[in-house]
Amino acid sequence: MPHRKPPRDDVTDDEIEISKPARWAAGIPGVMHSLQHAEQEMGAWRSQSTLRALNQKDGFDCMSCAWPDPPKRKAAEFCENGAKAVAWEADRLRVESDFWAAHPVSELTTRSEYWLGQQGRLIEPVYKPAGEDHYRPIGWDEAFDVVARHLRSLSSPDQATFYTSGRTSNEAAYVYQLFVRSFGTNNLPDCSNMCHESTSVSLAETIGIGKATVTYEDFAAADLIVIMGQNPGTNHPRMLTTLEEAKHAGAAIVAVNPLPEAGLLRFKNPQRPAGVVGRGTAIADQFIQLRLGGDMALMQAVSKRVIEANAVDADFLAQHTQGFEAFRAHLAGLSDDDVAEATGVPSAEIEEFARRYIEADRVIICWAMGLTQHKHAVVTISEIINLLLLRGNIGKKGAGAAPIRGHSNVQGDRTMGIWEKPRPAFIDGLVKEFGIPFPKEHGADTVDSVRGMRDGTIKVFFAVGGNFVSAVSDTPVTEDAVRRTDLSVHVATKLNHSHTVVGNEALILPTLGRTELDRQESGEQFVSVEDTVCAVHSSHGRLEPAAADLLSEVAILCRLARKTLGENHPIPWREFEANYDTIRDRISRTVPGCEDYNRKVRQPGGFTLPHGPRDERRWPTKSGRAEITVNDLEWPPCPPGRLLLQTIRSHDQFNTTIYGLDDRYRGVRKGRRVVFVNPVDLEALGFADGDVVDLHSERRDGIDRIAEHFRVVAYPTARGCAAAYFPEANALVPLDSQADRSGTPTSKAIVLRLEPARSHAVAP
Ligand SMILES: Nc1nc2c(c(=O)[nH]1)N[C@H]1C(S)=C(S)[C@@H](COP(=O)(O)OP(=O)(O)OC[C@H]3O[C@@H](n4cnc5c(=O)[nH]c(N)nc54)[C@H](O)[C@@H]3O)O[C@H]1N2
Ligand SMILES: Nc1nc2c(c(=O)[nH]1)N[C@H]1C(S)=C(S)[C@@H](COP(=O)(O)OP(=O)(O)OC[C@H]3O[C@@H](n4cnc5c(=O)[nH]c(N)nc54)[C@H](O)[C@@H]3O)O[C@H]1N2
Ligand SMILES: [Mo]
């Protein structure tokens, strides 16, 4: 049995160490750090051979982020954080059978995510019966019986909700949505609801398809790349290599962010000998430090200047768009004072940005959570599209809209039908293929599901992956909601906090990870995934499974379908489980763009899904044209004496999975309960660096939401803004504080009041 120093679960904030934020990202420390992590968890040999297969054409897809693989792979095509994700999954430790008797649920729920993740891989199904405080091992068959019994006893299929986190493969996602819809509901919430939903809503409306309009190759062909609300150095580290290549090919880069993130400033490439010494590559030619939520104003201000300078692409506008005249008229009334208040950015900087935009023939605009998690997120993204359309920057080489997705297969899951609001045509296709009815009424998204559980209309919670209660907002409300269910079920690789927040009965069903060999009746299987630029390819696990009787996600879902729907159900679940090719045959026939899927996905490097606007400037909107939209300017209000708080990721986490307690680039070590505030604001509010405070979130509902005991860090964020880590700060986001029309929790715009801490010692 491998040994590892037992993780400490008693770290207090008093140990937090703060130093200066880094000025550059990824170099020797990046690589060293990842190897250290990997060897500790996987062992030296396994880590070498596993990491070598990561993101190679015949290897497995990295489960960290959705950044694409380059057409020409390097020998080591992974980043520090990908290596951490692999090491975390390929852990040699196991949660052994006696663990469950030793640790009651009431104790586990007080443990940190860090501690839970460090217990090792889950290897057998466990069940917590009603009225008991312990999980206990249970057979697979019995476990499926428990779920099927609950599902069949519901008075309506809508009394169950089925969550997906974006690590699920295309094959598992397809089978999952088929099972859930055969059962009779569209309650298919997913992590997208909390992530890029605002993007999907805006793009569907403006260009007719909710996905990026660029391919990997476009980056090297761009004249200008704008990176808004995204921290690639931590969250998409391989993107830095792409940006570096684009810079060498002549692109300029503008970064728009309230924080001077290390990866946006300067990059030292660990894959090149020259990268690890010397000064590396400066990334951003212009850094616009704007106030949280000021992006809509910035986009409108730049669009206005483009129009005033007569720099629009009139032919493109006439041929491909509608709404330009109304947009021009609307922007004529844009007030400079409003722009200044919303952005906090001097007008000279906006002029410079506008000049760069006008001078560039090919422009890509990238964005991520800094834009999608605001109340006015959808219209903010629509303003990006407006600006791109003005100069024909969609559907040409080196240009386009580039939402950068989070989870490695979040986009593929949607393509496969994981969506609570399916298109009628998609459902019609399923009906035609399988010859049985499927529901069309929209189902519950993530926040709706919490409301349903809270109000008693949803009684069964089922999750394939993810960490629902830690990822959703208003933590105490969400926890309480799940505790009201009759049954909560998690399909997972490792323990997390959601598994300890249980319904009356609860199950944890362990599963194979993406690194592992997946053997079924017909032999070794592979799965497929889609990245953020619509490239679909196969992924082959390499390692021996963590335990002999672990089931794949596909197997779990097929067996559950058989138990729930009966052995005579017309969908061939048994065949699906035995041979994933049979699933892909159905994908070919029912998912647009996936025709001949089995062949195409086997090509080295896979294939790219068709995309009307990108490929041929064909716009699948209602009007058949790209829509230039008119949107009234919005930005988040912040009363005097308050700050706007955003919740972000540290360098040592993947969402709710905490790999370690350091955030190297931001100069934080040994702790996570920190709040970053501009020193001028700190002084004005009567606080100082090093103070310990409670964070209070203010909302008109009168409820005082509190996250206790945070160390104040004086930090060069934009004035009036603050930042703390997710998920520690999720308790501060009110459940009903959601983006208009997309429903995404507003995790980047919380009205914050600082108060001296009432208590001391709080768990990390
Ligand atoms: N290592 C690692 N990789 C990951 C993840 C992880 O947790 N760890 N998570 C994955 C997932 S699911 C996702 S969705 C992505 C997330 O990737 P990111 O979107 O980069 O993640 P966040 O940490 O939320 O960072 C948001 C960034 O936007 C900035 N920002 C916040 N508000 C605003 C605003 O109003 N305007 C502008 N212009 N900027 C703003 C913040 O300062 C920060 O730099 O990463 C994916 N990759
Ligand atoms: N305040 C605040 N809240 C946020 C955000 C924010 O920026 N601020 N970001 C939001 C975003 S962008 C997202 S995407 C969500 C993320 O929400 P989720 O996707 O629900 O959360 P994760 O932390 O990614 O889920 C990690 C868990 O997935 C399980 N897992 C890992 N690999 C596998 C696998 O191969 N199979 C299975 N079945 N399980 C596996 C493990 O048990 C692990 O603990 O959080 C959202 N919440
Ligand atoms: Mo995400």
Q: Which residue in this structure is represented by tokens 């897809």?
A: 61
What spacing in Å lies between the alpha carbon of 648 and ligand 1's midpoint? 6
Ligand 2 atom nearest the C-alpha of 165 is 19
**67 CB less than 6 Å from ligand 1?**
no
3 state SS of 684: helix
Nearest to 172 by CA among 552, 589, 661: 552
| Backbone conformation region of residue 651, classed left if phi is above 0, alpha if psi is from -120 to 50, else beta | alpha
Q: Which of 194, 543, 550 to mutate to test the pocket of ligand 2 (most atoms within 8 A of CB)?
A: 194
How far apart are alpha carbons 305 and 358 in whole angstroms?
A: 9
How far is C-alpha 290 from the chain's CA centre?
23
Q: Whose CA is nearest to atom 6 of ligand 1?
A: 654
Residue 656 alpha carbon to ligand 2 centre in Å: 6
Q: Report which bound ligand comes closest to the CA of 64.
A: 1
CA of 193 to the centre of ligand 3 (A): 9
- Mutate which of 89, 469, 655, 658 for ligand 2? The one with the most ligand atoms within 8 Å of its CB, which is 655
651: Cβ below 6 Å to ligand 1?
no
Residue nearest ligand 1's atom 12 by CA: 406
CA of 720 to the centre of ligand 1 (A): 19
Which ligand has the nearest atom to the CA of 664? Answer: 1
Nearest to 500 by CA among 523, 479, 518: 479
Contact (CB, 8 A) for 755 and 644: no
Q: Which atom of ligand 1 is nearest to the CA of 405?
A: 14
278: left (phi over 0), alpha (psi -120 to 50) or beta: left
Pocket flag, ligand 1, residue 532 (CB < 6 Å)? no
Atom 44 of ligand 1: nearest residue by CA position: 231
- Whether 258 lines ligand 1, by a CB cut-off of 6 Å, is yes
For ligand 1, atom 2, the nearest C-alpha belongs to 235
Reading the block at residue 441, the tokens are 């009424």
Other CB atoms within a 10 A radius of the CB of residue 154 amount to 17
Q: Number of H helices and number of E strands within the chain?
A: 31, 32
505-510/126-128 β-pairing: antiparallel
Output the CA 238–ligand 1 centroid distance in Å. Answer: 15
- Token look-up 């931590």 returns 234
User: What is the phi/psi pair of residue 65, to 5°?
Assistant: -115, 180
Which of 472, 464, 467, 422 lies closest to 447, judged by CA? 472
* Structural domains of the chain, with CATH: 24-89 (no CATH), 121-195+409-605 (3.40.50.740), 197-404 (3.40.228.10), 643-756 (2.40.40.20)
Q: Which ligand 1 atom is the nearest neighbour of the CA of 258?
A: 42
Distance CA 377, CA 634 (A): 10
Ligand 3 center–CA 164 separation, angstroms: 12
Q: Which ligand is nearest to the CA of 732?
A: 2
Does residue 256's CB lie within 6 angstroms of at least one atom of ligand 1?
yes
Ligand 2 centre from 406 Cα, in Å?
Answer: 10
Pocket flag, ligand 1, residue 645 (CB < 6 Å)? no
Predicted pLDDT of residue 43: 74
| Ligand 1 and 81: CB distance under 6 A | yes
- Cα–Cα distance between 525 and 503 in angstroms, integer? 34
- In terms of DSSP H, where are the helices of 321-376? 324-332, 336-343, 347-359, 369-372
CA–CA dist 497, 492 (Å, integer): 12
Predicted local distance difference test score (pLDDT) of residue 82 = 87
Closest to 673 (Cα-Cα) out of 112, 172, 122: 112
Rounded to the nearest angstrom, the distance between the alpha carbon of 190 and the centre of ligand 2 is 10
pTM (two decimals): 0.96
Looking at beta carbons, which pairs linking 562-571 to residues 24 or more positions away fall under 8 Å? 563/144, 563/145, 563/147, 563/148, 564/147, 564/148, 564/151, 564/152, 564/179, 564/183, 565/179, 565/182, 565/183, 569/182, 570/434, 570/435, 570/436, 571/178, 571/182, 571/434, 571/436
Ligand 2 and 464: CB distance under 6 A: yes
| 557, 179 contact by CB (below 8 A) | yes
b/e per residue 334-367 (b: at least 16 CB within 10 A): eeeeebbebbbbeeebbeebbebbbebebbbbbb
Ligand 1 contact via 668 beta carbon (within 6 Å): no
Give the ligand whose atoms come closest to the C-alpha of residue 66: 1
Assigned token pair, 27:
């170099």
Cβ(612)–Cβ(713) under 8 Å? no
Atom of ligand 1 nearest to the CA of 65: 47
For the Cβ of 345 lying below 6 angstroms from any atom of ligand 2, the answer is no
CA 612 – ligand 2 centroid, Å: 31
> Closest residue (by CA) to atom 39 of ligand 2?
465
**Index of the ligand 2 atom closest to the CA of residue 513:** 35
DSSP letter assigned to residue 701: T
The amino acid present at 608, given as its one-letter code, is T
DSSP 618-631: ---SSSSSEEP---
**How remote is the CA of residue 369 from the centroid of ligand 1, in Å?**
5
Phi, psi values for residue 600, rounded to 5°: -65, -35
Strands 321-322 and 626-627: parallel
Cis peptide before 745 (omega within 30 of 0): no
The alpha carbon of 740 and the centre of ligand 3 are apart by a number of angstroms equal to 18
Which residue from 192, 408, 414, 648 has its CB within 8 A of the most atoms of ligand 1, so it is best to mutate? 648
Regions of the chain where pLDDT drops below 50? 1-3, 5-6, 10, 27-28, 276, 762-764
Ligand 2: residue of 170, 445, 467, 649 to mutate (most ligand atoms within 8 A of CB) is 467
Closest C-alpha residue for ligand 2 atom 43: 466
- If you measure from the C-alpha of residue 763 to the centroid of ligand 1, how many angstroms do you get, rounded to a whole number? 25
Asked whether the beta carbons of 196 and 745 are under 8 A apart, the reply is no
Between CA 347 and CA 349, with CA 348 as vertex, the angle to 5 degrees is 90
Cα–Cα distance for residue pair 539/598, rounded to 1 Å: 13
Binding site membership of 747 for ligand 1 (Cβ less than 6 Å): no
What DSSP character marks residue 494? B
State if residue 466 touches ligand 1 by the CB under 6 angstroms criterion. Answer: no
Which of 2, 630, 756, 723 is closest to 373 using CA atoms? Answer: 723
**Which of 507, 436, 464, 448 lies closest to 181 in space, CA to CA?**
436
Report how far ligand 1's centroid is from the alpha carbon of 494 (Å): 24
